[in-house]
Chains A and B, each alone.
Chain A
Amino acid sequence: MTMRAYIVRRLALLVFVILGIMAITFFISRVIPSDPTALYLGGGRHTPEQKAEAREKLGLDRPVIVQFGVYVKDFVSGDWGQSLRTRRPVLDDIMGFLPASLELILSAMILAVVLGVSIGAFAAYRKGRFVDHTGRVAAIAGVSLPSFFLALVLQIIFFRVLHLLPVSGQLSIHVAQAHPVKDITGMVVVDALITANWVAFWDAFQHLILPTLALAAYSAGMTMRMTRSAMLDALESDYARMAYAMGVPDKVIVGRYALKNAMAPVLTIIGLLFAYALVGTFFIEQIFAWPGLGTYATISILNLDYPAIMGVTVIVALAYVIVNLIVDLIIAKLDPRVMLS
């Protein structure tokens, strides 16, 4: 099928999946008994009338199916409900916290991919030698370390012991006051760069380092393993042998012939790793006091703020599905055989 038909089909699947997810989280939040009115009304005791009023306000008295239908309709038109905790529209909350998470996830993924692919390819080329062994050990360690533990260890080493890097927030307070960063994308490092605010840029960059490292470790390790395995398959293939027999130099065989073939499985895994990074931010943000979606989500979950939880759930799923779609499209472009199926 053509590329266009493929995209259309995938988008249709996307819509179906999102609806499914919304249905699941919606019904879970209704089936499991928990009293959302309590959060809405605040602490203390409430009269039955107050509770009934709250229920009506929240729309909890209508049939479940109707509630869901209303919810979906609202969602599509941009009304994601109101957070029971902050009393602000959930969409606003999410949009406020999203850029910080994006900044963290993007920098972690970029680092993971660059490190993972280059080391993985090199390890495959020099299979059995020092680079290969060290690379594999590092990769498997990265994959086995709990990210929250790594975050703590990094904090201890680089902050407490070495006094090299900061450990909380995106920007030091004094810098934020003296050199405020204009909010364009919401990502502090990017904004500081664009507005040539070098003091803030350098400070924000330093704040970004440790969280990025903690988040990237797992993804870097997985990427390295996947790349190595895919590159080995490619380098040991008949077409690599043919190229070798035709006198094509090693660096072309590795860097072009093999790499392009290895990219498909690697890209697939990057889609999955994006999901992992998404989840990882929940923990990393907590430890580094990073004002991102993860922090918002964790607080919402612990407070049973169900509109917020729904909103976060949907946006996480949306992001995940979109990233996978992009990955699949890139793979289809790289490997012409995919279009046949």
Chain B
Amino acid sequence: MSMDTTIKGGGAFADWRLRHQSGIEESRHNVRVFFRDKLAVAGLIVILATLIIAIFAPYLAPYPEQGRGDSDMQDRLQAPSRDHVMGTDQQGRDVLSRIMFGARIPLIISFVVTAGVLLVGVPLGGIAGYFGGWVDEVVMRITDIFLAFPALVFAMALVAFLGASLQNVALALVITWWPWYARLVRGMAISLRERPYVLAAKTMGVSHFTIIRRHILPNTLGPVIVQMTVDVGAVILEVAALSFIGLGAKPPTPEWGLMVSEGREYILSAWWLSTFAGIAIFGLVLAYNLVGDALRDVLDPRLKR
């Protein structure tokens, strides 16, 4: 029966753990727990590898000019071979090189979106949660409206009106993602503002904004980082999806979603056009999800306590 392996040991166990663990030990323990998750480690390796490939694409790619966009119509639609490990596309470009150069896009965009969301959402959430009252109400109503909307639809509409381009995609994604983080930070700020050290700072006359900056926001960083790592995968998927549908990257950008879309009409004869790009998206997103999961497993129990 499985219940007897699921129930916790209760007081006996908990007491002992409380007595025998210190802060540093716990951090080292957390790191060890993270690395014990083999899949998470694999994910981390994939992310690092992608980063390296993205940075050094000009040196690593077998056909760097083609990776950037030069076409070679003589070599169109070649099946994977020794010369072209992943074959060539409808413009004769080496697919592998394009994939390598294309690695830059998800990484850059996720970084930009992350930064944007952090800069906008976190402070707003902190302010709303800290001050409460009408400030909170206003921010809450605004986020309500944004959140009442499926993010991708909103992003699609935005990009449609702004014009299709990767920059606009990034902008649209920042606009649609920040409310989540504002909400998250706001929730935490509400409980944090009652903490003794905050009240102490207030009585000492520390300005509100300094309190928010020094005491409230840093303490929200943990869950925010975890949420961010988990969300990067979703951001990458959205960018690819928007490009697939024609609202993101434009040819000849080697964006993976766009490559899947371009390869669609040749899918029967030249399967390699779409397939490798699709697998690349899948691989990177999977890696981020695995790492995010492990991070959450590691940090969450501590956060709960």
Contacts and interface: CB of A to CB of B under 8 A. Distances in A.
A21 to B, nearest CB: 6
Interface in B241-267: 241, 244-247, 257, 260-261, 264, 267
A148 B157 contact: no
A317 B146 CA distance: 10
Nearest to A133: B39
A140 B161 contact: no
Contact of A320 (B148, B274, B281): B148
A240 B8 CA distance: 10
A282 B156 contact: yes
Contacts of A158: none
Interface string A140-176: 1101111111001101100010000000000000000
Interface string A225-258: 0000000000110101100100000100110000
B282 to A, nearest CB: 5
A321 B149 CA distance: 8
Contacts of A68: none
A309 interface: yes
Contact of B2 (A28, A145, A250): A250
A236 B157 contact: no
B282 A241 contact: no
Contacts of A244: 3-4, 7
Interface stretch (B22-30, B110-118, B283-291): B283-291
B3 A144 contact: no
Nearest to A14: B148
A12 to B, nearest CB: 12
B144 A301 contact: no
Interface in B153-185: 153, 156-158, 160-162
Interface centre among A144, A238, A282 (most CB of B within 10 A): A144
B204 interface: no
Contacts of B285: 144-146
Given A148-B241, A250-B1, A309-B157, A236 B6 contact: yes
Q: How large is the interface on B (under 10, 10 to 19, 20 to 34, 35 or more residues)?
A: 35 or more
Given A146-B240, A146-B282, A244-B3, A317 B10 contact: no
B141 interface: yes
A321 B146 CA distance: 12
Contacts, number: 140
A302 B257 CA distance: 17
A17 interface: yes
Contact of B267 (A152, A236, A253, A321): A152
Contact of B274 (A28, A126, A149): A149
Contacts of A205: none
Given A144-B282, A152-B267, A286-B245, A20 B145 contact: yes
A279 B260 CA distance: 19
Interface residues of A, number: 57
B301 to A, nearest CB: 11
Contact of B153 (A141, A155, A241, A279): A279
Interface of A is mostly: helix
Given A140-B290, A244-B3, A320-B148, A282 B245 contact: yes
Contacts of A21: 145, 148-149
A13 interface: yes
Nearest to B159: A301
19 contacts: A13-B144, A16-B144, A17-B148, A20-B144, A28-B158, A29-B161, A126-B2, A140-B286, A144-B233, A146-B241, A148-B257, A153-B278, A241-B10, A250-B2, A279-B151, A279-B152, A282-B152, A302-B246, A317-B149
Given A238-B10, A309-B157, A309-B160, 15 more contacts: A17-B148, A126-B2, A140-B289, A144-B237, A146-B237, A146-B282, A152-B260, A236-B6, A236-B7, A250-B3, A282-B153, A301-B156, A301-B160, A302-B160, A324-B148
Interface of B: 1-8, 10, 141, 144-145, 148-153, 156-158, 160-162, 233, 237, 240-241, 244-247, 257, 260-261, 264, 267-268, 271, 274, 278, 281-282, 285-286, 289-290, 293
Lowest 9 CB-CB distances: which A-B pairs, in order? A275-B150, A149-B278, A20-B145, A144-B286, A279-B152, A301-B160, A144-B285, A32-B161, A17-B148
Interface of A: 13, 16-18, 20-21, 24-25, 28-29, 32, 34, 125-127, 140-141, 143-149, 152-153, 155-156, 160, 235-236, 238, 240-241, 244, 250, 253-254, 275-276, 278-279, 282-283, 286, 297-298, 301-302, 304, 309, 313, 316-317, 320-321, 324
